[in-house]
Amino acid sequence: MAALGVLRGFLRLPAAAAAVAVVPRPPWRRWASSSSSSSSSPPFQYLVLERRGSRQEVALIRLHRPQALNALCDGLMAEMEAALSSLEGDPAVGAIVLTGSERAFAAGADIKEMRARTFQQCYQGNFLASWDRVARVRKPVIAAVNGFALGGGCELAMMCDIIYAGEKAQFGQPEILLGTVPGAGGTQRLTRAVGKSLAMEMVLTGERISAREAQQAGLVSKVFPVEQVVEEAVKCAERIAKNSKLVTAMAKEAVNAAFEVTLAEGIRAEKRLFHATFATEDRKEGMDAFVEKREAHFKDR
């Protein structure tokens, strides 16, 4: 939840990088693809949205607040919620990739925006309640992380289903250094991902771990060179999008149940979802294609 752009010493960055510079706002951006733009898509100030993949089934969301190292302000998170809601209802989108810049996936929450809030405002307004929209998307979401993923940035990455990281990525929950604690799932998702000991060390000291350390701990799936991580995430998303979108949502639900319920309840949920696939046309098509030794053509029904 803590923002990277608040203290130069804390981030070990030069003064020019630590300060939030006053620069002109970036132009409002729309959906973009290699061939055309969609004039009907909503414009965004803090996000850049693109369609990727040979069949344009992958949505790429790029955080675009470079002057603040992609610190998560209220405006950015509101745009994120709007973008994800739009993608959720788009039948052409099979998977989503979420990324930032090579320097920072997201530096954390915007501390300058947050510092004046009171307990009453946080509690009565249920502050940060809407931040978990990424975790509630039924379509698969892949985080392509380069640079800093600290505080809210680390929490945002952990809300995704898969995390790919660039070799120079760094993950951390440094809220303790700002006199607070993670507030968007950091203590819960991090502990489930890396275990109690490492999670406790990171939360209590504010220390960061590298991409390789994150992979060894189970937080990150794969590590790539900085310039390749986004494209590799898009390739993974393309492979996912080729499958039945309906059955993919069922598979995601089954895996997520492992983090929410007991083993016995999870197995029962998995069995129900497995049985449910037999009510779909895609299950029949997939098995018929396997027996007939041909490629399956799913219709998402």
The pLDDT confidence band at residue 13, using thresholds 50, 70 and 90, is very low
pLDDT at 89 over 50: yes
The pLDDT confidence band at residue 110, using thresholds 50, 70 and 90, is confident
Please say if 109 is a catalytic residue: yes
Closest among 203, 90, 93, 108 to 149, alpha carbons compared = 108
Please say if 270 is a catalytic residue: no
> What is the DSSP annotation of 231-285?
HHHHHHHHHHHTS-HHHHHHHHHHHHHTTTS-HHHHHHHHHHHHHHHTTSHHHHH
Residue 299 placed within a domain:
no
The pLDDT of residue 236 is 97
Specify the CATH number for the domain of residue 281: 1.10.12
The catalytic residue among 3, 71, 109, 184 is 109
pLDDT in tens, 189-222: 999 999 999 999 999 999 999 999 999 999 999 9
Residues 78 and 210 in one domain: yes
For residue 253, the enclosing domain spans 245-291
The catalytic residue among 152, 183, 186, 206 is 152
pLDDT at 49 over 90: yes
Number of separate domains in the chain? 2
pLDDT in tens, 155-180: 999 999 999 999 999 999 999 999 99
Residue 296 placed within a domain:
no
The pLDDT confidence band at residue 122, using thresholds 50, 70 and 90, is confident
The catalytic residue among 50, 57, 155, 238 is 155
| Residue 193 burial (CB count, 10 A) | 18
Yes or no: say if 267 and 121 are a contact pair by the CB < 8 Å rule.
no
The catalytic residue among 175, 193, 214, 237 is 175
What is the average per-residue pLDDT within 20-46?
48
The pLDDT of residue 42 is 57
pLDDT at 15 over 90: no
What is the average per-residue pLDDT within 30-49?
61
Q: End of a domain among 241, 261, 277?
A: 241
pLDDT at 121 over 50: yes
Please say if 152 is a catalytic residue: yes
Residues 104 and 199 in one domain: yes
Report pTM: 0.84
